[in-house]
Amino acid sequence: MTEEIFRRDSYAFEFEAKVLSADGDEIELDITAFYPGGGGQVCDTGKIRGSDVTEVFLNKNRIIHRVPGNDLNHGDTVWCSVDWDRRYDLMMGHTGEHLLFCSLRRQVPDLSVNKIYISPKSKCVVVDRDISWDDIREAAVFANRAIRDNLPVTKTVMSRDDPEMCRVRIKKERIPEGEDVSVVSIGDIDLSACSGLHVMETGELEMIFVDRKVSAGKDGTAVHFKVGNEAKDAAAYLANTCLQASDAAESKPEDLMRAVSNLRAETETLRKTAGLFARERLMSLVPAAVGDAEIVGGVFPSVDLPILSEAAEYHKNSGRICILVSVGDGTSAVMSSGFGGIDCKAILSGVLAEFGGRGGGKQDFAQGGVSDPSVSGKLFSKLTEETAARLH
Ligand SMILES: [Zn+2]
């Protein structure tokens, strides 16, 4: 059984050990400071007698160090070092997660955590619902005050059945009856069951900053954060982005949200007005005679699909063949026919396929599109040609 230095001292990163077993790349030591990962925190890396430790993991309660191409043998006495910069960043991130979550829970009291992920590249806590940016801001203010107050972070062992356990954040169903639980406290603001690695004082985090929240599907919302210098850099960078956005929106930074909301309202009004004009224009298209049939159509800028469909339906019901192409970010096409013998689905799908797009529908009504907006003219010509060819 390996003695686990990290349980009693998370700051120890250099140590001497004896090799208990050497099985290819997999090394077991009599004593180790390498954390094998757990509680959402990834494992440590480092060196054993100069060889890289690329991974550390638990296998049937044994801590295994993966040391590719090593020359270690059973009984060797070796000098080991954990990659301290990486470890300290993970400890800060892990402590930051405790602090951030308890701060979020002050805003949303029945919030619960579904997953935690702490690695050098990404730190996040997945909570069971979406949280407003206002609640996140208030939580961040509280958490950063706790960092300035330099609260002690301490670990104690409590019995699962201790009456004080009611104050502890814990998934009690995961702890066997009668078992002791390792509890981490941050000052008097948070108590949480955890056997991971933490810093000793909140001041070590220097700063915590939430820089992103994204949906985590059925798990809820992933709240991404940074600590220390990374938090300071991210905050400065995003503040600058906000200032640039304020300039672009011609507003003061503190009025940016209102400016964006006004811009959106204006855009919506313009979109509706443009829609009304487009609808009127599409409805009053003048048909051209091709044999016994009448064809209407054309290429139009950024017409919403419901308006294209409504106009196509109208011309179909008037017994015409209708070919409408709209060009915006991509190219959309709608085709309808109230004239017998024209298969809109076949013509549209066939032509769109030539342009790398897709379409579908029925014989008398079909729609589809191509991602490339530059082909709209050619697409319309080809649809018209194909239709005319079938009429002759
Ligand atoms: Zn923890």
224 alpha carbon – ligand 1 mean position (Å): 16
Q: Which residues surround ligand 1, an ion (CB under 5 A)?
A: 194, 196
81 alpha carbon – ligand 1 mean position (Å): 23
184 alpha carbon – ligand 1 mean position (Å): 7
218 alpha carbon – ligand 1 mean position (Å): 24
95 alpha carbon – ligand 1 mean position (Å): 6
Long-range Cβ pairs for the range 277-283 (8 Å, 24+): 278/303, 278/304, 278/307, 279/307, 279/310, 279/311, 282/307, 282/308, 282/311, 282/324, 283/311, 283/314
Cβ count near 378 (within 10 Å): 16
CATH numbers and ranges of domains, the chain: 3-82 (2.40.30.130), 88-239 (3.30.980.10), 282-391 (3.10.310.40)
CA distance 126 to 224: 9
CA distance 102 to 100: 6
181 alpha carbon – ligand 1 mean position (Å): 12
Helix (H) or strand (E) run with residue 159 in it = strand 153-159
Write the CB contacts of 116 (distance below 8 Å, at least 6 apart in sequence).
39, 40, 41, 97, 124, 125, 126
Which pLDDT tens digits describe the chain residue by residue (392 residues)?
Answer: 899 999 999 999 999 999 999 999 999 999 999 999 998 999 999 999 999 999 999 999 999 999 999 999 999 999 999 999 999 999 999 999 999 999 999 999 999 999 999 999 999 999 999 999 999 999 999 999 999 999 999 998 888 787 777 788 877 677 777 778 889 999 999 999 888 899 999 999 999 999 999 999 999 999 999 999 999 999 999 999 999 999 999 999 999 999 999 999 999 999 999 999 999 999 999 999 988 899 999 999 999 999 999 999 999 999 999 999 999 999 999 999 999 889 999 999 999 999 999 999 999 999 999 999 999 999 999 999 999 998 87
Residue 228, helix vs strand vs coil: helix
Count CA atoms closer than 13 A to 169's CA, side-chain side: 21
Residue 210, helix vs strand vs coil: strand
197 alpha carbon – ligand 1 mean position (Å): 6
126 alpha carbon – ligand 1 mean position (Å): 15
CA distance 292 to 347: 19
Write the CB contacts of 244 (distance below 8 Å, at least 6 apart in sequence).
none
294 alpha carbon – ligand 1 mean position (Å): 73
154 alpha carbon – ligand 1 mean position (Å): 11
Could you tell me which residues are beta bridge partners of residue 184?
A: 155, 192
| Cβ 247 vs Cβ 256: under 8 Å | no
109 alpha carbon – ligand 1 mean position (Å): 20
198 alpha carbon – ligand 1 mean position (Å): 6
CA distance 183 to 169: 9
Interval 160-194: pLDDT, tens: 787 777 788 877 677 777 778 889 999 999 999 88
15 alpha carbon – ligand 1 mean position (Å): 24
238 alpha carbon – ligand 1 mean position (Å): 28
